[in-house]
Amino acid sequence: MTDNCCSTNGNIMILACSGGSNVGQLSNQAAIDLTREGFGKMFCLAGIGGQLSGFVQSAKDVQNMVAIDGCQVGCAKAILEQADVPLKNHVIITDLDIEKNKNFDLQTEDIAKVTSAVRETCSKHSDNQSTVSKKPFNCCG
């Protein structure tokens, strides 16, 4: 696991847009890779979007979270807004100079760019996180 100021012992909730384009799939793959390395835990954005009470409550209760949107449409951000879940950290992949297209042959360097941006965003905003002890989320989705 990466040892930095955003190190949360895997308790950072990672929400990926997983949309129907290369950047949506980069979002998904970055979330998988960050989960595998122990940076955080991927969580089901669809459960929040479906207004499933346990998913929504877990997202509201988690101390640290990052939403990864593929593009400026901002589906992950919109889902959180609709569910009244505060947006804590947010990465938009097209802001990383990765062009949105329908090529699903993901490039290793693009995945690395996204995971790096997530780590950096969490690191920059970790000082803004509440120090109130909240229960860790249940990774049920």
Percent of the chain at pLDDT above 90? 78
Q: Where are the domains of the chain?
A: 12-125
Residues 43-66: what's their mean pLDDT? 95
**Residue appearing with tokens 């949105």:** 100
Which has more confidence, 45 or 134?
Answer: 45
Q: pLDDT, tens digit, for every residue of 86-128?
A: 999 999 999 999 999 999 999 999 999 999 999 999 988 664 4
Q: In the CATH hierarchy, which fold is given to the domain comprising 12-125?
A: Rossmann fold (3.40.50)
Token readout for 72 is 């400026």
pLDDT reading at 3 higher than 80: no
| First-last CA distance in the chain | 22
Q: pLDDT, tens digit, for every residue of 78-94?
A: 999 999 999 999 999 99
d(CA 122, CA 106): 24
pLDDT at 59: 95
Residues 25-39: what's their mean pLDDT? 97
